[in-house]
Structure 1
């Protein structure tokens, strides 16, 4: 005896299996992303540093010039404007910002002069040309310079269009999440 299954049942059956085969991998990818994030891993999608997977590593002491760090930007008017302009991504830091990956270029007590380029204690900082306008022809307001305050760091990226301390000035060290270590990256 042959029993015919109505087409409606087979369509529902196909939908079930499609949901199963697409839903399970999506759920696994989501769980993996959350797990990696809790373990200190982050994905960088910005050109300021190589694209790819990075890890936040606990600080082992005093920050030094040349250290590459993850830092949460403070909740300030200039940072909110930067987010509105698209310079900063949304994330889990205070104010809804994503952490930045930047190199420490100056520490407390050092003098920063900003003109066409950046000078730290009289020495030109390489790859530090200051843009007058952004990619959408909007005026950029550079940091006026000065002495890096106590418990603050001046941050830099060699990427010419990076939004860094050339524009927002020194940031408080309390926002540093840890060192930024490359895990699996690609530098175009």
Structure 2
């Protein structure tokens, strides 16, 4: 004969075989399946929306910057010669890319060294005089704010830097420096960048910080 008992505030019936029917565990499993299905559906929708946004961003010639070296947000590439104060999208040299890959400074990308390009500000162009010291970078006698040289990266690894002293920018060179963070991987550590490594000038469209 079947018996009734109370478990977790619910009345359940025990069959003669001792098997639980209508148990809380079974109800919980059914509820989980329903909730998991809804969560999976939301994830699919979110991924679809993200995919559409990415296609639109690329179609409009926009680039997303998430690095602290520049204001985070959307940038668009424009034609024109890089001038002092402009933002540019540029690759590091294949030699520098070796260190970038080994230490994870840059993710994989289409540059010649197999890394993603940088978004940096041009602080010096051909003919400018750059002076490098531990405390700051000076361009044509003007000290750049927030341009001190970091001795190590965020993991405590030593950062090779450009030689201290005076540098005259060559005809086919640019100096790219971020004044937002001292350990931004830029010309303070890479030295002057060849203009042949510059993809384009970039203009901010929408930024958040």
Mark yes or no: TM-score above 0.5.
yes
1:84 aligns with 2:106: no
The structure showing larger relative contact order (alpha-carbon pairs under 8 Å, at least 6 residues apart) is 1
SS of the residue corresponding to residue 166 of structure 1 reads helix
SS of the residue corresponding to residue 80 of structure 1 reads helix
Structure 2 unpaired stretches of 5+: 1-35
SS of the residue corresponding to residue 96 of structure 1 reads coil
1:30 is matched with 51
Name which of 109, 119, 129 aligns with 2:138.
119
Larger radius of gyration: 2
2:77 is matched with 56
Give the alignment's Cα RMSD to 1 decimal.
Answer: 2.7
Consecutive aligned runs of 4 or more in structure 1 exceeding 3 Å deviation: 15-25
1:99 is matched with 117
* 1:33-182 matched pairs, under 5 angstroms: 33-59=54-80, 62-76=81-95, 78-116=96-134, 117-144=136-163, 146-159=167-180, 160-182=182-204
TM-score, normalising length from structure 2?
A: 0.70
Q: Kindly tell me: are residues 149 and 18 of structure 1, through their superposed partners in 2, closer, same or farther at Cα, counting changes over 3 Å?
A: same
> Is contact 1:58-1:177 (8 Å) kept?
no
